[in-house]
């Protein structure tokens, strides 16, 4: 039979997994459902998201007055019920409010857990690691978004295990103590770091999507092509370092600065380093974050039930504030690379703040018993090593299961015509607020070349999904990715034929908060038949025509094509007759939709704006132009059939 401390650790870990699942729905729901496709001011979005975390500050008072066990059990039941209900709802406001209820219940449970768990670090570590590994095993496509009966199997299993562990733990003798027994409890610092650890882990250190994207910058033309087999290799190293550094006895003396420094270095690389350094940033941040959690086991003094509860909710409030501030930068317009660095500095300061002896050595770490200063035994390093190896093994299995396998092949002879689709996919979320890969697949159809805008490859705000790889796998089309806003958000080209000579060009920002780029690839149809394709998404400041960016795209595309047939397509945020549109036609490009104007493409449920376009060179006939009806995004996909000039077949 499991001891109380083991049951408490299991409950904490599983609860954190379910809470993370709910957060992966709550955050994008705030943007896509409450935000109404960017029509809601960013300030109001932030206030709505933060309000629930602020409301949870009342939870410690509830725990003290009613009792941790009844409050914790009721909150877990609500959290589990909300998580299961999210598997069934078809999106919309019901999804938003269920996710909100689950989030609030999860925060109340966390405050209750803080008053009971004698040694929280193992539970926090196992919970963060299990959440990341589960996310990896599902290829970052969580069951809540599957929309089929198989989604219930893992969902029910996790929630059932959580409730069984919670009930079994509640039946055990209360070893946690109440306020009068505060000396038997560890300090509140571990709970204070729960929220920041969830933030830095989901944003960088333990993100499967970030691991795959990091590898993609090391392979292919221009460092942007699809990653090779074992694309999740950085995750394997990251989870092993995180678990080992978190569970291994923390260092003493000046060596205690090692982990805060590693965490700071990782976040600095993430915020200011090149995309090629993303994998290194992940490994540094994982080791540093785990080590900082280990440092919180150094005894600092007793703490009350209320103090530990406020620490847990306060840490989650840090998570919420930092998340909102980091991603609001892409709407409001201010530098945000510093924010993960500041969070890392806070984590390092809290972790390093443990009491030391007069000789400078740290007080012995807290063990998972009521004796807080029991000496560390030889078994603990062994357990840390075994746990790290097990986590690495699971990550390796996930890497093999979801490694890239798509290969573009030369078909017999060049085609006579090519179907091309351009689509702003809004990070994969439809108007109903759900990540619906099947709907995106249906909207794109059997295209031969696909140009995507607003491609998300691991933003925590959107649930940490690698939407590009998920969609490319479903379409069975290899891809080339080009970042526009940070390393994880940008544009892509997918092709059933091999692509060559990929180039990406940053566009002038002209005061816009979100970055923009132009990605050029050459599609090789064999026998000397080639097509130059440029994918872009113009991002002007609000209320401004993107004429400067349009001229930059036209210049880049013309030079890149170098006389070959050329297609330039994407979300241009400009309408026919506007200066930016005219800049492209004045450069010699032809509007492929001229014969069917007006052709509105946004918003998807009531199209009024003509802002998604396909331009071609004069020697490239385009037929069958259409805007495809779909609500899988807030834009409609646009498509044409291209006939390659006979002169290219030589």
> What are 189's two structure tokens?
């610092």
220 is written with which tokens? 């292919």
pLDDT digits (tens, 9 = 90+) for 536-578: 999 988 888 999 999 999 999 999 999 999 999 999 999 999 9
Is the per-residue pLDDT at 613 higher than 50?
A: yes
Give the burial string for 291-317 (b: 16+ CB within 10 Å, else e): bbbbbbbbbbebbbbbbbbbbbbbbbb
Does residue 109 register a pLDDT over 90? yes
Q: Where are the beta strands (DSSP E) in 538-586?
A: 566-571
The structure's pTM equals: 0.91
Q: 524 pLDDT exceeds 60?
A: yes
The pLDDT of residue 371 is above 70 = no
Distance CA 142, CA 138 (A): 6
Q: Is 536 left (phi over 0), alpha (psi -120 to 50) or beta?
A: beta
Could you give the residue ranges of the DSSP H alpha helices within 296-337?
Answer: 305-332
State how far the Cα of 98 lies from the Cα of 96, in Å rounded to an integer: 6
* % pLDDT > 70, the chain: 87
Q: State the alpha helices, DSSP H only, in 143-205.
A: 152-170, 189-192, 194-200
Q: Which CATH number fits domain 4-401: 1.10.150, 1.20.1250, 1.20.58, 1.10.3470?
A: 1.20.1250
- pLDDT attached to residue 297: 84
Alpha carbon 438 to chain centroid distance? 20
Give the whole-number percent of the chain exceeding pLDDT 90: 68
Render pLDDT for 249-283 as a digit per residue (tens, 0 to 9).
Answer: 888 888 889 999 999 999 999 999 998 899 999 99
Q: Kindly write down the DSSP assignment for every residue of 18-34, as one continuous string.
A: HHHHHHHHHHHHIIIII
CATH architecture type of domain 418-648: 4-Layer Sandwich (3.60)
Residue ranges covered by each domain of the chain: 4-401, 418-648
Q: Rounded mean pLDDT of 170-194? A: 66
DSSP-derived 3-state class of residue 611: coil
CA dihedral angle for residue 10, residue 16, residue 22, residue 28, rounded to 10 degrees: -150
pLDDT at 39: 67
Q: Could you give phi then psi for residue 215, rounded to 5 degrees?
A: -70, -30
**Longest CA pairwise span in the chain (Å):** 88
Q: Of residues 418 and 45, which shows the higher confidence score?
A: 418
Helix (H) or strand (E) holding 490: strand 489-495
Smallest CA-to-CA distance from 19 within 120, 109, 96, 138 is with 109
**426 or 403, greater pLDDT:** 426
How many C-beta atoms surround the C-beta of residue 558 within 10 A? 18
Decide if 480 contacts 450 (C-beta within 8 A).
no
Nearby residues of 377 by Cβ (< 8 Å), 6 or more positions away: none
pLDDT, tens only, 285-324: 999 999 999 999 875 556 678 889 999 999 999 999 999 9
pLDDT of residue 355: 52
pLDDT digits (tens, 9 = 90+) for 585-610: 999 999 999 999 999 999 999 999 99
Least confident of 219-223, 410-414, 476-480, 492-496: 219-223
414 band by pLDDT with thresholds 50, 70 and 90: confident
Residue 443 — very low, low, confident or very high, per pLDDT cuts 50/70/90? very high
Summarised one tens digit per residue, pLDDT across range 530-544 is 999 999 999 988 888
Q: Residues near 532 by Cβ (< 8 Å), separated by ≥ 6?
A: 520, 521, 522, 557, 560, 561, 562, 564, 565, 566, 567
Yes or no: say if 544 and 578 are a contact pair by the CB < 8 Å rule: no
């Amino acid at each position: 039979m499991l001891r109380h401390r083991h049951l408490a650790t299991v409950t904490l870990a599983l609860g954190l997994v379910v809470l993370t699942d709910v957060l992966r729905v709550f955050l994008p729901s705030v943007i896509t459902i409450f935000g109404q496709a960017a029509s809601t001011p960013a300030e109001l979005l932030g206030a709505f998201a933060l309000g629930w975390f602020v409301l949870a500050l009342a939870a410690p008072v509830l725990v003290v007055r009613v009792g941790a066990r009844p409050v914790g059990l009721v909150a877990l039941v609500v959290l589990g019920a909300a998580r299961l209900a999210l598997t069934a709802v078809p999106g919309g406001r019901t999804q938003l409010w269920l996710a909100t209820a689950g989030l609030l219940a999860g925060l109340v449970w966390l405050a209750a857990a803080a008053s009971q768990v004698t040694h929280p670090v193992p539970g926090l570590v196992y919970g963060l690691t299990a959440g990341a590994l589960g996310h990896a095993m599902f290829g970052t496509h969580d069951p809540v978004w599957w929309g089929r009966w198989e989604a219930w199997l893992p969902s029910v299993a996790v929630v059932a295990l959580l409730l069984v562990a919670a009930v079994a733990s509640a039946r055990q003798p209360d070893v946690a103590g109440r306020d009068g027994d505060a000396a038997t409890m560890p300090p509140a610092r571990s709970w204070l770091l729960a929220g920041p650890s969830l933030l830095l882990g989901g944003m960088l250190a333990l993100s499967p999507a970030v691991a795959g994207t990091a590898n993609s910058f090391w392979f292919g033309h221009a460092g942007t092509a699809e990653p090779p087999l074992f694309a999740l290799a950085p995750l394997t190293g990251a989870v092993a370092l995180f678990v080992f550094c978190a569970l291994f006895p923390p260092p003493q003396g000046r060596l205690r600065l090692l982990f805060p420094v590693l965490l700071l270095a990782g976040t600095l690389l993430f915020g200011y380093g090149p995309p090629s350094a993303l994998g290194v940033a992940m490994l540094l941040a994982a080791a540093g974050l785990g080590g900082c959690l280990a440092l919180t086991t150094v005894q600092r003094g007793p703490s009350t039930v209320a103090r530990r509860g406020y620490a847990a909710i306060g840490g989650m409030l840090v998570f919420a504030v930092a998340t909102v501030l980091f991603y609001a930068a892409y709407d409001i317009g201010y530098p945000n690379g510093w924010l993960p660095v500041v969070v890392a500095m806070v984590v390092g300061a809290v972790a390093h703040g443990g009491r030391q002896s007069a000789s400078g050595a740290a007080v012995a770490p807290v063990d998972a018993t009521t004796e807080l200063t029991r000496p560390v035994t030889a078994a603990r390093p062994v357990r840390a090593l075994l746990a790290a190896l097990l986590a690495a093994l699971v990550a390796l299995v996930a890497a093999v299961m979801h490694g890239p396998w798509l290969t573009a092949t030369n078909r017999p002879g060049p085609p006579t015509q090519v179907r091309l689709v351009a689509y702003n996919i809004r990070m994969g979320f439809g108007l109903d607020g759900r990540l619906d890969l099947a709907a995106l697949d249906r909207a794109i159809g059997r295209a031969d070349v696909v140009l995507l805008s607003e491609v998300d490859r691991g933003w925590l705000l959107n649930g940490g999904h690698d939407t590009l790889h998920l969609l490319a796998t479903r379409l069975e089309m290899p891809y080339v990715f080009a970042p526009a806003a940070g390393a994880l958000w940008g544009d892509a080209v997918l092709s059933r034929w091999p692509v060559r000579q990929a180039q990406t060009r940053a566009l002038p920002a002209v005061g816009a908060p979100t970055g923009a780029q132009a990605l050029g690839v050459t599609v090789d149809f064999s026998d000397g038949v080639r097509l130059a394709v440029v994918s872009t998404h113009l991002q002007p400041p609000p209320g401004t025509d993107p004429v400067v960016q349009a001229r930059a795209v036209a210049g880049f595309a013309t030079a890149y094509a170098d006389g070959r047939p050329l297609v330039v397509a994407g979300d241009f945020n400009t309408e026919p007759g506007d200066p930016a549109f005219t800049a492209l036609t004045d450069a010699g490009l032809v509007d492929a939709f001229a014969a069917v104007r007006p052709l509105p493409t946004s918003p998807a449920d009531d199209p009024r704006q003509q802002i998604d376009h396909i331009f071609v060179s004069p020697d490239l006939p385009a037929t069958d132009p259409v805007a495809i009806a779909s609500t899988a995004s807030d834009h409609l996909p646009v498509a044409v059939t291209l006939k390659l000039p006979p002169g290219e077949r030589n």
